[in-house]
Amino acid sequence: MKELEVCPSVSCTTFISTPAAGISEAAAVVEIVEADGWRDPPWRASLGAESRHRKYRQVVDRWHVDFADLTGGHGLLGQVEGRVSTVVAAWLTAQPTTWRGAITHMAIDMCAIFRSAIRAALPHARIVVDHFHLVQLVKARLAELRRRLTWKMRGRRGRKGDPEYDHRRLLRAAAEELTDQRRTVLERDLTRIGTYGRHILAGWHAKEKLRDLLALARTHPARSQISHRLHAFYAWCADHAYLPELVTLAATVEAWQSEIEAFLSHRDHQRQEGGDQPSHQARSPRRVRLSQPCQPTPLVTLRNHARQQKPSHPCSISKTSNVWPSTD
């Protein structure tokens, strides 16, 4: 629904009003189900503006939870309004017993509400957390570290001309995607800043050590491999315990360690997430999304594609081509 830009209140009302919205006894077996919660903007969840005071009354909950099939290709299975454990557990328990018994794994983000609801409704199912949410979390912690140290060092927000601000895209990039020259420039410029720059660089190394752990997905790792890389990540965060962002990150990973290990060791879920890819491509985070209608390629994508395939001389470009980047 996020890709289709459909209002959750509209989609939820459609599911409720449809007679066959529930899962029937003859429904196909679903082994892996994803529960994903997302929030709608306030203006979509509010209706009934008063003409005098221009105030809006909230008629639906801003949070909605989607249930999707990750292996069978059945797409969206259901949607509920609200993001509380009782609502999620009620939807799961309302489904047929045979359908619930066939579920072996539940894929969620790092939300304690989902975990408690699944443990109550599906005690036999194993909970997994994929690397999409972990990579998103570690990048957010690294950005928080950079902003905090920039404000502490300069007394203002980062802006153009500050090395840590100019290299913010390199800090978010994966290590294997950086050339040797770019990595050298990143480490050199951050080291020249001083102590705060080395702290930011330590946060970047923590991100890469966590990504080293997630790189074991789809490789059928042994338990010893997972433990070794987990220890390397925890040891790095412990050595830099003076950085609260790394402490918070390590505590979150520790709280969800069993769910992360379940994702790394489960083969079917990894195959659906990214397919059989070589090990050097396994670190790119991918997330299964619902199918969406074909849309025209954005002009920005076309321009970037044309820029990457830039010919040796501008005269070789066709006059009818409309994808060549502007020279403004």
Where residue 62 falls among pLDDT bands split at 50, 70, 90?
A: confident
Same domain, 190 and 225: yes
Q: Is residue 98 part of a domain?
A: yes
Say if strands 32-39 and 105-108 run parallel, antiparallel, or are unpaired. Answer: parallel
Q: Is residue 175 part of a domain?
A: yes
Answer yes or no: are the C-beta atoms of 170 and 182 closer than 8 Å: yes
Same domain, 124 and 153: no
Chain center to CA of 287 = 7
- Global pTM value: 0.70
Placement of tokens 């557990």 in the chain: 89
Q: By three-state DSSP, how is residue 78 classified?
A: strand
Q: Is residue 101 part of a domain?
A: yes
Inter-helix orientation angle 180-193/195-214, to 10°:
140
Helix (H) or strand (E) run with residue 108 in it: strand 105-108
Say if strands 32-39 and 126-128 run parallel, antiparallel, or are unpaired. Answer: unpaired
CATH number at residue 34: 3.30.420
Answer yes or no: are the C-beta atoms of 88 and 94 closer than 8 Å: no
Same domain, 251 and 145: yes
Q: How many CA atoms lie within 13 A of 204 on its CB side?
A: 23
Task: Write the pLDDT tens digit of every residue in 89-128.
Answer: 999 999 988 888 889 999 998 889 899 999 999 999 999 9
Same domain, 13 and 79: yes
Answer yes or no: are the C-beta atoms of 186 and 170 closer than 8 Å: yes
Joined tokens for residue 184: 């050298």
Burial of 28 (0-12, 13-18, 19+ CB in 10 A): exposed
Concatenating the DSSP letter of every residue in 230-279 gives HHHHHHHHHHTTT-HHHHHHHHHHHHTHHHHHHHHH-HHHHHHHH-S--G
Helix (H) or strand (E) run with residue 195 in it: helix 195-214
Same domain, 140 and 253: yes
Task: Write the pLDDT tens digit of every residue in 125-164.
Answer: 999 998 888 999 999 999 999 999 999 999 999 999 999 9
Inter-helix orientation angle 195-214/244-255, to 10°:
10
- Tell me phi and psi for residue 59, to 5 degrees: -105, -20
Domain-terminating residue out of 128, 160, 190? 128
> Which residue range(s) make up the domain with 66?
8-128
Task: Write the pLDDT tens digit of every residue in 4-59.
Answer: 455 555 555 554 444 444 565 545 678 888 888 877 766 555 555 444 555 666 66
Q: Rounded to whole angstroms, how far apart are CA atoms 221 and 235?
A: 21
Q: State residue 315's pLDDT score.
A: 43
Same domain, 119 and 147: no
Q: State residue 28's pLDDT score.
A: 65
